[in-house]
Amino acid sequence: MTFFEKAERTRRWNLFTDIDWDAIDTAPPDPQLATNAETFCGVEMFLPDYLQTHLELFGRDYAQAWFAANWGYEESKHSLALREYLRRSGQRSEEQLHDYAGTVLSKRWERPYPSAREMLIYGMIQELTTFVVYRSQRTVAIETGHSVLADIYRLIGRDEMAHTKFYQHMVALHLDDDREGTLRDLAHVLRTFRMPAEQLLPDAEARTELMRSTGIDGRVYLRDIVAPTLTALRLTRHDLPGPRQAPPVEPSGLVLPTRTRE
């Protein structure tokens, strides 16, 4: 109820009235910004799979099921806002967007971890990582004069940070309940995390390289995701146990996992 009340009173935004669509033509098109916006839109399009996983794991718990419904509503606006930006700016046609959605949704995202607690931790890391990515893109949009896209990233990023804090509270409860097991799961997810679904998108390798060129890399992951997460949970890296097994090969995702000794 705390999450819901704050969202209703201070954070909920309207796709049609809270974005100044009339200002969309004040800056020339930017192919890199457009491709990144399309990539994020595609990742957000796997919402049915994300939501199904959440409800499978937590759906019989009243509070978490109702949070999932709120989360799904807020997340649904993210892909819609990015899609509208691409369409209204003329950087993608309606036909192109339709074909892109069909290609994206022809595949399914599968959850990367088996247990509910690991997926809760994964959600916490994913939301903060997405916030950091959107913050980076907002900075670029501001610097290049794309005020409408910058405002979209501001609104979306605000949602992602609210979701991050909710998940952090949940993980803190797990730490109180089973500190050793939760620390073990937290360490494992931090070391093996990769952004959801980006490998399922068309031209995934090219999109990943483009994202790397914007500065989202392993160093940023450690500084802007791992460190703040541990601080929020009142932990340090020394609280984390060693790896369960030999470290995996680095994925080609938007961010890299931490090294074993980090």
Domains of the chain: 31-239 (1.10.620.20)
N-terminal to C-terminal alpha carbon distance within the chain: 37
pLDDT of residue 215: 66
Record the pTM. 0.88
pLDDT of residue 52: 92
pLDDT mean across residues, the chain = 88
Amino acid letter, residue 47: L
The per-residue b/e assignment along 20-55, b for 16 or more CB within 10 angstroms, e otherwise, is eeeebeebeebeebbbbbbbbbbbbbbbebbbbbbe
pLDDT digits (tens, 9 = 90+) for 64-94: 889 999 999 999 999 999 999 999 999 999 9
**100: Cα separation from own chain's centroid:** 20
